[in-house]
Amino acid sequence: MSDLIIRPATLEDTGLFLRLVEELAVYERMAPPNAEAKARLIEDLFGPKPFYQLILAIKAGRPVGYAAYFYTYSTFVGRRTLYLEDLFVLPEARGDGAGHRLLVTIARVALAEGCGRLDLIVLRWNELAHKFYEKHGVKRMEEWALYRLAGEEIAKVAAMPDA
């Protein structure tokens, strides 16, 4: 683990990051981002108004994982919430401490930024991730259900009459 470095991503890391995102898509059984989505990922990370932040896990000079996060707000706590969008480590690098170090780094960011919460979502079938987070004391919120509008569904709701 001594040769493991956790650091913020730079513009020079673009290709490395996009390859890791593609690996995550394979792991999560999802379609990888298309060319336009990849361009937005980079613009939204390094453009004039960044929407999220990214840290990389580098082992022996090679990227083995990343964590992408952004901030939301809790009206109940009256503080920002750090939302962990992705924490991904290449399968062949798991068990070497990269995931642990990424999560610890994210928790330290949340603490330093005065966040009242650190939230994330795990796919139901991903037992490896459930065990990882629970081992770190992350609690499963059984009473909350995720709802989503995507693509044309957003447009349909936006087109509904006001009342």
Sign of the C-alpha dihedral, residues 54, 7, 71, 23?
A: positive
What pLDDT is stored for residue 128 in this prediction? Answer: 93
Q: How far apart are the first and last CA of the chain?
A: 59
Using 50, 70 and 90 to split pLDDT, how confident is the model at 22?
very high
Across the range 149-160, mean pLDDT stands at 93
Q: What is the pLDDT of residue 137?
A: 94
Domains (range + CATH), the chain: 4-158 (3.40.630.30)
In this predicted structure, the answer to whether residue 1 has a pLDDT above a threshold of 60 is: no
- Return the pLDDT at 146: 86
Please tell me the pTM assigned to this model: 0.91
User: Can you tell me the mean pLDDT for 39-67?
Assistant: 96
pLDDT in tens, 108-144: 999 999 999 999 999 999 999 999 999 999 999 999 9
Element (H, E) at 154: helix 152-158
The answer to whether the beta carbons of residues 42 and 14 sit under 8 Å apart is yes
* pLDDT surpassing 80 at residue 75: yes
Mean pLDDT of the chain: 94
| Active site members | 133
Beta-bridge mates of residue 65 = 57, 89
Query: Per-residue confidence at 30, pLDDT binned at 50, 70, 90?
Result: very high
SS (H, E, C) 7-69: EECCHHHHHHHHHHHHHHHHHCCCCCCCHHHHHHHHHHHHCCCCCCEEEEEEECCEEEEEEEE
163 confidence band (pLDDT: 50, 70, 90): confident
Rounded Cα gap, residues 63 and 35, in angstroms: 21
